Amino acid sequence: MKDDILMKNRMLNDNQYAAVHMPLGPVMVIAGPGSGKTFVITERVYHMIHALGCNPRNILVITFTKAAAEEMKIRYHQKDGLHQVAFGTFHSIFYRILRNSNPNRYALERLLQEDKKRQIIEKIYAGMDVSDDYEDFVEVFLSHLTLMQNQLIQPRFYNPDGLSKELFLAVYQAYENFKERQGLFDFDDMLTHTYYLLQNDPNVLKFYQAKYKHILIDEFQDINCVQFEIIKLLAGHKPDLFVVGDDDQSIYQFRGAKPEFLLSFEEYFKPVKKVILDVNYRSTENILRYSNNLIGYNTIRYEKRMLAHQGTGPNPNILYCKDSNDQAEMLLQEIFKLQKQNVPLHECAIIYRTNVQARPIIEALRKAQLPFVIKDACATLYDQWMTKDILTYLHLAKDRGNAELGMQIINRPSRYISKVALQEAAAKGGDFLNTLTRLASLNQSQHDRVEELIFHLQRLANLPLKEAVPYIRHIIGYEHYMLDYAKYRKIPSEGLIELLEELEESAKAYKTVEEWEESLIAVAQSIRQSMKDKSHVGISLSTMHSAKGLEFKAVFLIDIVDGIVPHNKSLGEIQLEEERRLFYVGLTRAKAYLYLMIPKERHQKKTENSPFVLEMLHPKVVLKEGEKVKHKIYGKGIIEKVDGPKATIRFNTTRKVVDYTYCIKHHLLYREEENV
């Protein structure tokens, strides 16, 4: 058609054109970062209606976020002016199905908002007579509840990490009973209830299969089990599914999302037509060279290499700095340079692996009076329960008679003082700790521990702040308490220790506990205000997870050291591949300027470069049997056998088995004709 020729020549590249013009049926579009997937989906809808004769009322377009659904809807309406196509998120579409099936049961006023849900769980847990003491129980419980439901696992078969299964089941059942009594439902129920409705009611399923004959799904790599099963039900035996996603950007495994659903799409829906969108319209060639090299080391993926449309661009910068504070100062200097090059602040982003890394950056931005925007809700350093404990120790050192402060930390670390004894001492009034030592109910060991605490508090009161925090941590034994807590919870201790180290680092800049606490509160308020004021413009601060889908002219990736990137909690090969995808997402947010910042030490400990740095600089090379190579130590050789990452190489009359991936990475091994 003439219109199609114009569209191809003026707007679509060859692969985009092929995707848009596919016949009806299962179509899988692998869309790399910046490849125009939203544009392709809207053009596909237009083509389906005007060239393939599809009724717009039978077309359903699903996205993962409300903002993405609105953007796509607006783009399509601007192009075509038709309003019959259904655009929405998984939750909004499935909620419509539930509400239409039972308007009273699923009335909007019966929906439990997340803050109310949290309050209910807190109340249930507080009312339970359990010996388990979980500081962050609600947060951990809710994450497991969502993960269990997203994976359609029956509660009795679910084994939560870092949480007692018995306690999890007890709170879960109490929560379900509460919802049942009150006739309420939550956001997780929108998915599971829709699945069971469609699975168990053939009439409802038949109605929606007829209504949504054509389904298009964006960000398909982020789909979880319950969403995938619902889509399979809706698609039926003659599916017209057009899915767009990128297996290299699947980073939400902790929510139940798996790249396997995209990678296995061809097994579920046959025959599938596949198109790869490999032209990146966002990033320069030099940025893509780094990101392509990196992601090439993953094995669970569709093979592809993104091509740059924007030209070569400047080389990415690898900047070494002394520590976190030096990193923050160096980062500010680079931002000032970018401003002189007319790069606006809102086109700059600072991206990190975990929220705790943002603290020195935020403090530096506040001092420099540079505006910033926090992209994702996060618990600030001040909000952490261990911060409250450390501050309590410092305040108690100056007010040892305070019963409320004393009761909070008396058993952190454990001094084996019962709640009955604490309440008895508090009721007597006077100096709380001294009163506690005079209780007849305390045995000698308990008495000695309280006396020891009083001694430590007397010393603590006379220490400068920079010495006081490590004194609490190491001499009083708070770190040992944290390690015991992690062991009891069966969770990794590294994250808790990292927070303690960050607290100690933060306190060094202040003379008094009052100044330090005031600063922690000010930073927390700045973050909350940034989250609250959606119109605020400034430098974007974001975790790698929350940066997905965004783009900036200049991107700073901080703390690119082993243990952070990849994170030390991700030890298995599957987790390592997700960490690599996560870093890949961070790299590909940059349009023109990319900065990788590597502190030589963190928390007064030497660091090692992230192994991903070498991978970015050197593409993965797979050697084959019969290839001629040169080794810096062994000389010329020929590959006799390849077994995974190892190769048997004959060097003259000797044979060596070498880890060739390691040798290539460290510049020891080359193909004979080139430096690999």
Residues at the binding site for ATP are 31-38
Beta strands in 484-589 (DSSP E): 539-543, 552-557
For the chain, helix (H) and strand (E) counts, in that order, are: 29, 21
**What's at 108, amino acid-wise?**
L
Bridge partners, residue 657, by sequence: 648
Say if CB 386 and CB 503 are below 8 A apart.
Answer: yes
Contacts of 272 (CB under 8 A, 6+ apart): 26, 27, 28, 265, 266
Which residue has 């009335």 as its token pair? Answer: 107
Token readout for 17 is 């054109």
Q: In whole angstroms, how far apart are CA 8 and each of 2, 16, 21, 22, 39?
A: 10, 9, 10, 14, 13
Determine the Cα–Cα distance for residues 643 and 634; give it in Å rounded to an integer. 20
Cα-Cα end-to-end distance for the chain: 48
Residues in Cβ contact with 636 at an 8 Å cutoff, skipping those fewer than 6 apart? 628, 629, 630, 651, 652, 672
d(CA 582, CA 324): 21
Size of the chain, expressed as the number of residues it contains: 676
Q: Residue 593: CA atoms inside 13 Å, Cβ hemisphere, count?
A: 21
Per-residue HEC secondary structure of 218-248 comes to CCHHHCCHHHHHHHHHHHCCCCCEEEEECHH
Two tokens, residue 270: 């046959």
Adjacency order of strands within the sheet including 646-651: 654-659, 646-651, 635-643, 628-631, 669-671
The answer to whether the CB of 247 falls within 8 A of the CB of 302 is: yes
Kind and range of the H or E run holding 338: helix 324-340
Binding residues: 31-38
Closest CA to 581 of 620, 619, 546, 545: 545
Structural element, H or E, at residue 359:
helix 359-367
SS3 115: helix
- As a whole number of angstroms, the distance between CA 73 and CA 79 comes to 10
